[in-house]
């Protein structure tokens, strides 16, 4: 039976492969703005830059440093034995794959489906590239990896794990437990890929090995851009979350969204009536201009310099 994505990630761990280090989280210079927010029944967390620490504060498809991009591509080519089915053009394997990858990424970005802020799906990029390799007799072990769609997800996970190291934001697991202890329901609302939940589970377990993600962050309250096909600040993504909360009897003003970016997290949440908390504990992810913090249309209800401060605003 083919490995699940989680099982595949665990199998990779057993091989002792080198990976990029988890980023060192540096907080922004900011003072907390804390006040009680009565009536909040649900907390929806942003993912990258709020619960998961990652270089640049967000998941990248292309790294700004070409050498890092080439190393990730070379590792992927070697791991999945792609070179034998690639056109033997002059230059390094990564150089040719970088060209193919960039082309496919542009094609995926152009497939908007009418959405103003469409999400690019990492596995679709790799599935398209793998299908090109089939023309030169490429093959993979379906009994181990699964169907081409399942295989593409594993390739995408490997590539992105090679491109950017991940780790937990300070006190992320503690904040989730504190919120649960206060009787609030919790979920996720953020940009994500097919492998994001694997990353969430793995990084949070570094802080708490016994954390049960399916209980604390149930699947019914995970609103991910890869599922909705729309990324922040798309109202499509936020409205999907509010519709699900409404079915549980929770109104927009009874939901708190915790994020790191004014434009992509706070503004769309406020526009639809949600309460908002800006997390400033990771300078790499923080996007907040002084004028935005003063403007009532963009100013968050509270500002957390540490995730553990969540229990000071929930009542």
Confidence (pLDDT) at 89: 66
- The reported pTM is 0.96
The pLDDT tens digits of the residues spanning 59-87 come to 999 999 999 999 999 999 999 999 988 87
pLDDT the model gives residue 147: 98
Q: Could you read off the pLDDT of 263-273 as tens digits, one per residue? A: 999 999 999 99
- 21-57+165-312 is a CATH 3.40.50.1000 domain: yes
Look up residue 98 and give its two tokens.
């970088």
The encoded tokens of residue 310 equal 């969540």
Helix (H) or strand (E) holding 240: helix 235-247
CA dihedral for 260, 264, 265, 271, sign (positive or negative): positive
Measured CA to CA, the distance from residue 61 to residue 121 in angstroms comes to 10
Q: What's the confidence (pLDDT) of residue 187?
A: 98
Which whole number is the average pLDDT over 15-30? Answer: 96
- What is the length of the chain? 315
> Which tokens hold the place of 36?
């009680």
What b/e string do you get for 181-207 counting C-beta neighbours within 10 Å, with b at 16 or more?
Answer: eeebbbbbbbbbbbbbbbbbbbbbeeb
Q: Model confidence over 97-151: pLDDT tens digits?
A: 999 999 999 999 988 777 889 999 999 999 999 999 998 899 999 999 999 999 9
**CB 292 within 8 Å of CB 299:** yes
Dihedrals phi, psi of 82, to nearest 5 degrees: -90, -25
Q: How far apart are CA 205 and CA 196, in angstroms?
A: 14
- Measured CA distances, 40 to 164, 178, 269, 309, 314 (Å): 35, 14, 14, 15, 7
Is residue 300 within 8 Å of 262, Cβ to Cβ?
yes
Whether residue 180 contacts residue 186, with contact meaning beta carbons closer than 8 Å, is answered with yes
Least Cα distance to 119 among 199, 193, 68, 59 occurs for: 193
Give the DSSP letter of residue 58.
S
Confirm if 222 and 241 have CB atoms less than 8 A apart: no
Question: Could you report the per-residue pLDDT of 149-208, keeping only the tens digit for each?
Answer: 999 999 999 999 999 999 999 999 999 999 999 999 999 999 999 999 999 999 999 999
What pLDDT, on a 0 to 100 scale, did the predictor assign at position 111?
82
Instruction: Report residue 127: phi and psi, to 5°.
Output: -65, -40
The domain segmentation of the chain, as residue ranges, is 21-57+165-312, 66-163
Q: pLDDT averaged over the chain?
A: 96
Task: Flag whether pLDDT at 93 surpasses 90.
Answer: no
């Amino acid at each position: 039976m083919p490995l699940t994505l989680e099982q595949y990630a665990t199998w990779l761990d057993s091989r002792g492969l080198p990976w990029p280090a988890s980023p060192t989280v540096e907080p922004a210079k900011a003072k907390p703005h804390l006040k009680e927010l009565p009536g909040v029944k649900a907390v929806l967390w942003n993912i990258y830059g709020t619960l998961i620490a990652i270089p640049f504060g967000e998941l990248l498809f292309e790294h700004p440093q070409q050498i890092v991009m080439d190393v990730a591509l070379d590792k992927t080519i070697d791991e999945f034995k792609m070179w034998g089915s690639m056109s033997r053009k002059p230059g390094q394997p990564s150089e040719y794959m970088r060209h193919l990858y960039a082309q496919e990424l542009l094609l995926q970005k152009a497939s908007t489906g009418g959405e103003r802020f469409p999400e690019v799906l990492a596995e679709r990029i790799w599935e398209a590239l793998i299908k090109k390799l089939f023309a030169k007799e490429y093959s993979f072990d379906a009994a181990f990896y699964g169907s081409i769609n399942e295989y593409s997800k594993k390739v995408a996970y490997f590539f992105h794990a090679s491109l950017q190291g991940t780790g937990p934001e300070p006190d992320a697991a503690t904040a989730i437990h504190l919120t649960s202890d206060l009787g609030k329901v919790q979920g996720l609302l953020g940009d994500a890929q097919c492998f994001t939940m694997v990353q969430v589970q793995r990084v949070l377990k570094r802080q708490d090995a016994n954390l049960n993600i399916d209980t604390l962050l149930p699947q019914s309250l995970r609103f991910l851009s890869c599922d909705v096909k729309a990324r922040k600040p798309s109202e499509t993504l936020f409205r999907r979350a509010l519709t699900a909360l409404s079915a549980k009897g929770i109104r927009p003003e009874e939901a708190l969204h915790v994020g790191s970016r004014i434009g992509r997290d706070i503004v769309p949440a406020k526009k639809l009536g949600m309460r908002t908390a800006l997390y400033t504990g990771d300078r790499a992810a923080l996007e907040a201009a002084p004028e935005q913090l003063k403007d009532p249309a963009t100013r968050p209800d509270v500002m957390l310099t540490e995730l553990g401060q969540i229990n000071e605003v929930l009542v």
